[in-house]
Structure 1
C-alpha cells in the first residue's frame, strides 16, 4: 500500500473505512469448543482462530492446490479476517482502539505440493492495511497444513495492540 493511500485514510475511523470498502462485520460466530473468540491481557488482544465463515455460514471449503484456487483462497482469507475483526470489535468495543496489528498467523489447508501460502494470506493482510493504514502493517506467518477444521481452506489468528 502506498504512502498516498495511507494519507487518504487519515481522519477516518476503522469503522468508516470498513463502510467505504463496503465491508460489513458479520455476527460473531459462537465458538465450537471451550474457548472464546478473543482475550485481552494488558494492552494486547489475542484473537482466536477464525476461518471461512460469515456468522454461522461456511463460505469456503477445500484444499489449496487441489480444489481451491489461489484467488478463492485469497477471498477465503479476506472472509476469515473480517470474521476475526468482528470478534475483535466485540471484545474491545470500537476498532479505533487498535494501535497496531502486531501479528497475523495464517494457516492454509494445502495439497502436499502447494507453495503459495503467502499469496493466499495476502487477502487478509490487504484488508488489515486498508482498514488500519500503517497500524495494520504486521508481522506474519503463512504456513501450509494438511487439514483444518470443517474442511476450511484458511484459518487465521491475530495479536493486536490496543490503546
Structure 2
C-alpha cells in the first residue's frame, strides 16, 4: 500500500474503486507529467452521497465533506491512470463547482473541504492553485463537483 493510501486510511477514509463515467468522457487524461481528472461527483458505491443546493437544502459543512468524497474519487481515477498515488509529485490545481442557492456566497469554504483534505494527505505537495465556482445546477443534482490537475513522476 502506498504512503498516500496509508494517510488516506489514517484520516478515516478508503480509496474507492474507479466509478464508470456517467456520460461521454474518460475519468482522466494524461499529458506528459500532468494528469487531468474529469469532474468528480460525491458518488459512493455508484450513488450520490447527497443532493441539492448548498445554502438551501445542503449545509456548507455537509458540502465540504462531500468535496472530500469528490477528491477520493479523483484520486481513485488518478491511481488507475498512473498505478500508484505516490507518483504524484504535486497537486497543481483544484477546481470546485458548488451548486448554490441564489444568495449563497461561501463556495470557497465548501471547496476548502477538498483543499484541506489534500493538504492533510499530501502535506507540502498538496498545496495547489484553486478555483471555487458557484453554479446553478450540477449533474444529477449533486451539491459539489471537483476536478484536479496533478503532476506525476515515473
> What TM-score do you get using the length of structure 1 for normalisation?
0.90
Deviation, structure 1 residue 49: 0.4
Deviation, structure 1 residue 22: 2.1
Look up the match of 1:59.
49
CA distance in 2, matches of 1:117, 1:40: 28
CA RMSD, Structure 1 to Structure 2 (Å): 1.0
The structure 2 residue matched to 1:90, chosen from 80, 99, 102, is 80
Report SS of the residue matched to 1:80.
Answer: helix
Aligned residue pair count: 152
The structure 1 residue matched to 2:109, chosen from 105, 119, 133, is 119
1:47 equivalent to 2:64? Answer: no
1:158 equivalent to 2:125? Answer: no
- Mind listing any 5+ residue stretches in structure 2 that lack a counterpart? none
Deviation, structure 1 residue 52: 1.1
> What TM-score do you get using the length of structure 2 for normalisation?
0.95
CA distance in 2, matches of 1:76, 1:17: 19
The structure 1 residue matched to 2:132, chosen from 136, 142, 152, is 142
CA distance in 2, matches of 1:64, 1:105: 17
Correspondences of 1:93-104 after superposition (within 5 Å): 93-104=83-94
